[in-house]
Chain A
Amino acid sequence: MSQATLSVSRTRHSLAPWARIAALAVCALLTLGPVIWTVSTSLRTPAEAFDLPPSIIPTNPSTEAYRGVFDQIDVWLLALNSTLVTALIAVGQMITAGLAGYAFARLEFRFKKPLFGLVLATMMVPLQVTIVPVFLVLKSMGLTDTLLGLIIPAFPTAFGTFLMRQYFLGMPKDLGEAAMLDGCGPWRIFRSVYAPLAAPGLAIVGVLAFNYHWNEFFRPLILETSGQNYTLPLGLVSLQGNLGTGSISVVLAGVVLSMIPAVAVFVVGQRPLREGITSAGVNR
């Protein structure tokens, strides 16, 4: 986790440090610029939304646009749907990935290798290739146009299972062996020894699931046909369709509202999120 790993040998770097930092600052500004513009425009009155140059700090800050969003779409319902779907998927993935990861790491059973191979192979299968039959399977279960239809297929997670397997493999084996000598059965060893140690790994799985499914667009677009089952991203895009000209600040206010939980997860869950993404590269 070294912050200063490479700094020792940098006495003769080709770029002066201040120039490098200035260039990085410009890049960071370009990266955050669209987000800053979104927030500031959402705080302008619809009439001033098109003003150029865009004033970063609105001259007459107004929450009119936010009231517009609540008038046009049922924000509370969409947010409730999104929260329900995302939270249940996150909890479900933590459970399924935790259990399966433990089984692959610490239990012995037949067909372990081929089953693990199957799990890994599904990481390669794009959702879009299977979406038509998945739609038909859900239709036969009567789950199209329901929130459950979004939730249940998302429970198994190949990447989460892989991550938790790595996590359990990293724990000392002696703990389980000691517990066994004390007379613990396999379930007790899992429940009392290893499961409590898995919390940080499970947090990674949960935060990754939250981030992905809060923002998910493709599956809800296909599965949810009636407005009362829409999630926030669908509501936002429909907000844009409803509008005539002149009130982009309303659309952007909607975008800001939907960003709030994602930003909250970024602030609170930044470390698990980063570790989850980094381990995608390092562990393979």
Chain B
Amino acid sequence: MTNTQIPAVRPKQPAAQPAPAPGPSTRDRGTRLLATLFLAPTIVGIVVFTVVPIVGSVVLSLFHWNVIDDPRFAGAANYREVFTDSTVLVSFGNTLVFMVFAVALQLLIALVLALAVNGRMPVWLRSVFRSAFFFPLVLSAASISVVMKYLFNQDFGVVNWLLGLVGVAPVPWLTSENAAMATVILVYVWQQFGFSFLLFVGGLNNIPKEVHEAASLDGATGLRKHLSITLPLLSPTLLVASVVGIINALQVFEQPYVLTNGGPGDATRTVVMVIYESAFEQLRFGEASAVGVLLFVLIMAVTALQFRLSRRFVHYQ
């Protein structure tokens, strides 16, 4: 990760030589030309499809526009509307609730499983488990949500049938306001925990085994060892997993869109669903942009807060 190295392609010059002539040598010019050519696709792409659109979002959020008529300047009207529109407010609340539970659950499951997989077992078995937990990640969130819609059906779904075997009455997983959000979270966590799991497995492998041996000699065992040794050593990985997890969770779309379409009522409507609906279904591009800008601010704020908090809890070796 270091930037301080000597550039690889500049000629080595003996110390005794006089200072190079002013102006770039032909070789330096060649390097610079090459750098320009190599960077052009990425930088132009990022400017056209990310930087300009960010500025565009902010500008657009100050206008009323439905694509057909000319844009009308709206000042802060779109933002005022956002803060009084109950659907938008509810969607921000839903998204935060979703984020808290989805990320907490995902990290907890991934951590426990990573610790368990790291215990003693045959190598082939370890790789079977690792592959199994990682597998849902390669599937599409949209098609998996289609599948889950059937599994969680109240009347003929397999989940309620299984619960029925142990005497639990059918649960309205997707049709009651209270259960729907929980179901969306479960489906999301089911697909996503493998990501944190892989990070944790990698992080655990980076902990030198001498640390554990020393702890065992000092008499630490089981849970105690995990809490006071493994977790602090794993904390940089935990930070990354939670930052990535939170950024992803704040952008949830496919699962609620396919499973519940935001319902019942607005119970599972998320911020990204609101952006999608107001821009591409109602053609209210200004309002949609205002919601987008607020989501961006929220993501930045949460991430910044997290890095601040982490200064106290993250230990680097």
Contacts and interface: CB of A to CB of B under 8 A. Distances in A.
Chain A partners chain B? yes
B105 interface: no
Q: DSSP class of A's interface residues: helix, strand, loop or mixed?
A: helix
Contacts of A284: 240
A161 B275 CA distance: 29
A280 B287 CA distance: 34
Could you say which interface size class chain A belongs to? 35 or more
Could you say which interface size class chain B belongs to? 35 or more
Given A6-B212, A9-B216, A12-B221, A96 B45 contact: yes
B147 A34 contact: yes
Interface stretch (A70-78, A197-205, A259-267): A259-267
B9 A180 contact: yes
A38 interface: yes
B14 interface: no
B300 to A, nearest CB: 7
A186 B30 contact: yes
Contacts of A166: 1
Contacts of A95: 41
Q: DSSP class of B's interface residues: helix, strand, loop or mixed?
A: helix
A237 B299 CA distance: 29
A113 B2 CA distance: 12
Contact of A185 (B1, B30, B41, B148): B30
A129 B149 CA distance: 28
Nearest to A277: B198
A176 B299 contact: no
Contacts of B8: 106, 173, 176-177, 189
B121 A215 contact: no
Interface in A91-139: 95-97, 99-100, 102-104, 106-110, 113, 115, 118-119, 122, 124-137
Interface string B209-243: 10011011000011100000000000001001100
A107 B195 contact: no
B288 interface: yes
Contacts of A15: 119, 222
Interface centre among A34, A54, A176 (most CB of B within 10 A): A34
Given A132-B57, A240-B146, A259-B143, A1 B205 contact: yes
Contact of A20 (B119, B139, B143, B253): B119
A118 B46 contact: yes
Given A9-B216, A265-B138, A186 B42 contact: no
B125 interface: yes
B9 A17 contact: no
Contact of B205 (A5, A13, A124): A5
B174 to A, nearest CB: 14
Interface centre among A153, A157, A218 (most CB of B within 10 A): A218
A104 B2 CA distance: 11
Contacts of A23: 116
Contacts of A53: 161
